[in-house]
Amino acid sequence: MDFAGKWETETQEGYVEFCKLLGIPDDIIEKGRDYKLITEVTQSGDDFSWTHHYPKNAKVTNKFTIGKECDMETIGGKKFKATVHTEGGKLSVTFPNYHHTSEISGGRLIEVNTLTHAPGSVVLKRTSKRI
C-alpha cells in the first residue's frame, strides 16, 4: 500500500451531483469541474500527510496515523475528528457528510467519496495518475 507521491486527476465521475449535495456554490463547482487536482502524499509506515491542492492556491493538508484518532479538515474549513482505517488495501475514513476510500489500483490513485441521503447515495470517483 504505497500511496506516496504526487498525483494528478485524470477523470472524475459524479462530481457535479456530489458537490451540489454538499452545498458547494455553482460557480465554485464550475471552476473545479475540469481542474486537475493535485494530491500529494507522504507516507512513513502508518503515518501519512495527505494534501489536496485546489484552484487559486487553496490547499488542505491532513496528517494521520492509521488506527489513531486525529484532527482533520475539509476544503470548506470544517474541522472534525476522525480515524483512518485500512480495509483490504484501501484507506477508509468517514468525513462529516460522506465516506471516503483511497486505493492504488493499476498504478492509479482511486478515491471514492460516497454521500448517503434519502432515497439513495451519490458517488464521486476520482482517478489520478502519478506525476
**Residue 57 zone, left/alpha/beta (φ > 0; ψ -120 to 50; rest):** left
Q: Which pLDDT score, from 0 to 100, does residue 130 have?
A: 96
Q: Nearest Cα to 5, choosing from 93, 108, 85?
A: 108
Tens-digit pLDDT profile for residues 62-103: 999 999 999 998 876 789 999 999 988 899 998 888 899 999
Q: Which pLDDT score, from 0 to 100, does residue 105 have?
A: 96
- On the question of a cis peptide bond just before residue 96, with omega within 30 degrees of 0, the verdict is no
Separation of alpha carbons 22 and 97, rounded Å: 7
pTM confidence score: 0.88
Structural domains in the chain, sorted by start: 5-130 (2.40.128.20)
Helix, strand, or coil here: 69?
A: strand
Tens-digit pLDDT profile for residues 16-33: 998 888 888 898 888 788
